[in-house]
Amino acid sequence: MPIKQLSGLDASFLFLETPEMPMHVGAMHLLELPKGFRGRYVNALRRLYAARMPATPALRRRLWWMPLNLANPAWVDAEPDLSYHIVEHQLPSPKKGSPPPDARTLLEEAVSQLHSHLLDRSKPLWRMHVIEGLPRSARGCKQVGVLSQVHHAAVDGQAAVALGNVLFDTTPERREIEIRPSKRSKTFRIGMVEMLRGALGNEASQVVRLVRELPAALGTVAGTARGALSPRKLLGKGSGNVTLAPATPMNVSVTPARAFASASVPLSDLKALARVHGATLNDLVLMLCAGALRSYLLQHQQLPRKSLVAAVPISLRPAGDTRSDNQASMSLISLGTHLADPGKRLAHICTASSAMKTTMGRMKSILPTDFPSIGIPWLMQAAASLYGKARVADRLPQVANVVISNVPGPQVPIYLAGARVLANCPTSIVVHGLALNITVQSFDAHMDFGLMADAAALPDVKVMALALDAAWEELRVLPVPGLKALPTASASPSPRKAKLALQAPAARKVSRARRNSGVKADGSAGRSR
């Protein structure tokens, strides 16, 4: 029987994983149960997963390791034990006389505690944590939290979204999905000789492919690098993205402890602002993150004079490809945090983003997601362990300060086992030298931000989440190019100015109560911090 080894990119998330760097991704979901719900939600969730399991290959496979760990492992079929993979946690009751924290804050604290736990590699690499004991919603309905965890070796951002499309519904009623029976047996047996033969055959094909593609790849790299890697740019004196990043509190060796916070902004308003400013939605996401980072570092008197640099994942996945694997690369974008003027900062980000797209457009076709792996497991594991123990990240300059990832999600209300999803904040990975990861996903009527940080480096990551609120207010009142001022009630604007004014989102102040309420019962977006 032929074996399917993990690609080089998929396997790297296994080999680089240490107790300080868990390599699973997921999301924090705040759910509102339907009125009159009875029973334990964890049982309803297990029933849903049991029914959908045949359509979710990423959840019903485990690792099969090569002899002596000489090469990448393979995926083999496995039947998950849902009593292990879907577990329930009960939050302690609030102290008498003290106001109970809001549901979002309680969930963030639970995520901070649970995220650092490594997944068991002898089992399918995923878990779902059901958080009970949250306060009721504004409608008086019971609320629960769900933390999803899937190893990055199994999925990237877009593959995780495809997995969610199977598990979530667009109505409270569960839909029927087509189940194709597996042609493989439930048990998997393969001898050592066959495993080695399959691994060596795969390695040989990888070498042949790389040799065949090497001349074209070298030509592309040389042409792209010419002028991009000049000493001027590497020292941060140019306007390009290829530059050494300045030192910040985020660029340190990480510990096993995590701190998580979240925020949300109205998606329709964000799209309207992108239109009037001639920017992309991703440009404005970067603008919000840049504003929050600048504000946070200013508060701590640690803002560098040089612009911060974001490492931004770029999908290499062809349209329509929903395979459960990793097909992504990393790019660099200057965030313009050295610019106090938000208008100039936005222009800087748009220019930097455009330059990145041009560069990645040239490089995308040659960026590998697979490569020969003989001996690589030992080398990568040893390097990851040594890098962390020696705290190399504390002494070497970094190419980036923060990871910022924007993953498109469903822009309609969704339900999980009959419960409406009120918030869907991504949880991701921090690594040595990059102690903060901001992952963003559009969802329903809002854009949800998940800020995962090393607890030792950024114990007050909630302050940065609140800084996103300030960055949002700053962006909303930013003057629109070509429009000197928004028309007042007594003015009669020209047709062109009137059109721009209608396109611009209203500059309304969001109350603190509404920020804490998350999404309203009618499905409209409210700020959640």
**CA separation for the pair 271, 513 (Å, rounded):** 24
442 CB neighbour count, 10 Å cutoff: 20
Helix (H) or strand (E) segment spanning residue 61: strand 61-64
Helix (H) or strand (E) segment spanning residue 130: strand 126-132
Residue 516 corresponds to which amino acid?
Answer: N
432 catalytically annotated: no
DSSP track, 371-420: ---TTHHHHHHHHHHHHHHTTGGGTS-BS-SEEEEEE----S--EETTEE
- Dihedrals phi, psi of 51, to nearest 5 degrees: -75, -35
**CA separation for the pair 442, 421 (Å, rounded):** 13
Residue 30 corresponds to which amino acid?
Answer: L
Task: Take residue 253 and report the two structure tokens written for it.
Answer: 């060796």
**CA separation for the pair 401, 251 (Å, rounded):** 6
Task: Take residue 345 and report the two structure tokens written for it.
Answer: 């900062």
Task: Take residue 240 and report the two structure tokens written for it.
Answer: 């390009």
**CA separation for the pair 151, 26 (Å, rounded):** 8
Nearest one of 250, 255, 256, 258 to 110, comparing CA atoms: 258
DSSP track, 6-53: PPHHHHHHHHT-BTTB--EEEEEEEEEPPTT--S-HHHHHHHHHHHHG
SS3 for 338? coil
Look up tokens 């969001």; give the residue: 510
Single out the catalytic residue among 85, 152, 277, 348. Answer: 152
* Enzyme catalytic residues: 152
